[in-house]
Amino acid sequence: MFKGSIVALVTPMTENGDVDYPSLQKLVEFHIQSGTDGLVAVGTTGESATLPMQEHIEVVRKIVEYAGKRIRVISGSGANSTSEAIELSQASAEVGADGLLSVVPYYNKPQQRGMVAHFEKVADACELPLLLYNVPGRTVADMLPQTTAELAAHPRIVGLKDATGDLNRLQELKRILPEDFILLSGDDPTGCEFMLQGGHGVISVTANVVPALMAKLCKAATSGARSEAEQTDKSLQALHQALFIEPNPVMPKWALYRMGMIPTPVLRLPMVEPELASQKTIEAVLHDIGVIS
């Protein structure tokens, strides 16, 4: 269902901060032609935190339109208010998304029981398959493996994006979760080993920049071709690291701008363009891997 190389897609902006829909269409086509397996629309990398709900859903609708059923579209529909997450999820279904990615509620710091109640309410309210998203580095609250296992009993909760970067946790999840429960890495630097140890794919920031290479990596890793996967991943480690020297999505936007894929690197406040030193770092990496001249 949701496996392989899934890109956490950026949302390009014009100079005045509006969504740049022609560039968004160009990016969707770039991924389809490069072999990407799925698109996450308006997740963290798509600046979900600063898109009002109506605009958020319009971006999802446009991505669905541009994709034209050629690639699966997963809508970032999480919120720290359960009612808002339900509204986003239902609206995402109405505009044609194939699935939902719902983050652990942030800032509130809910208890594990609160997480169960939250996600069950969201899954009950919408017929789309739901991927849970655990990223304690952003949300503070950490959804524990036993909580994930409890939620996996819900027929619409089909998988987890785990962005802890903890490969020991992967083994614990595999031990207690149903065999068909989808496990996706949300941490590019450890994503290769995550897949080699039984994960089903990645939701990747790096795939914004090198989608064909990420697709190649995922195919090798999920088929158990360790040598090929590790070789490809080794060539991408510097990029994995450089894309996170400033808070995401600052660096992927700058990279796409320097590649000529988007006309501006504009972000919504309070995010701003990277520092000059960061620009030079990412540009050196892009040059080394042959993405820019």
Ordered by where they begin, the domains of the chain are 4-224 (3.20.20.70)
238: DSSP letter: H
Show binding-site residues for pyruvate: 45, 203
Answer yes or no: is pLDDT of 1 > 90. no
Among residues 26, 69, 121, 161, the one annotated as catalytic is 161
pLDDT, tens only, 6-16: 999 999 999 99
For 186-203, what is each residue's pLDDT tens digit?
999 999 999 999 999 999
Query: What confidence score (pLDDT) does residue 216 get?
Result: 98
- What are the pLDDT digits (tens) for 121-158? 999 999 999 999 999 999 999 999 999 999 999 999 99
Distance (Å, whole) CA 121 – CA 83: 9
pTM above the 0.85 mark? yes
> What pLDDT, in 10s, does the model give residues 214-256?
999 999 999 999 999 999 999 999 999 999 999 999 999 999 9
pLDDT in tens, 23-76: 999 999 999 999 999 999 999 999 999 999 999 999 999 999 999 999 999 999
Spatial distance between the Cα atoms of 61 and 67, rounded to a whole number of angstroms? 10
Share of the chain above pLDDT 90, in %: 100
**Which pLDDT does position 9 carry in this prediction?**
99
Beta strands in the chain (DSSP E): 4-8, 38-41, 72-76, 99-103, 130-134, 157-162, 182-185, 201-204
pLDDT for 171 equals 97
**Core vs surface per residue 169-190: b (16+ CB within 10 A) or e:** bbeebeeebeeebbbbbbbbbb
Whether 21 is catalytic is no
- Active-site choice (69, 109, 121, 133): 133
Q: Is 111 exposed, middle or buried (0-12, 13-18, 19+ CB in 10 A)?
A: exposed
Q: Which residues contribute to the annotated binding site?
A: 45, 203
Please return the burial class of 166, using the count of CB atoms within 10 Å of its CB with bins 0-12, 13-18 and 19+: middle
Q: In whole numbers, what is the pLDDT of the chain averaged over residues?
A: 98
State yes or no: is 234 an active-site residue.
no
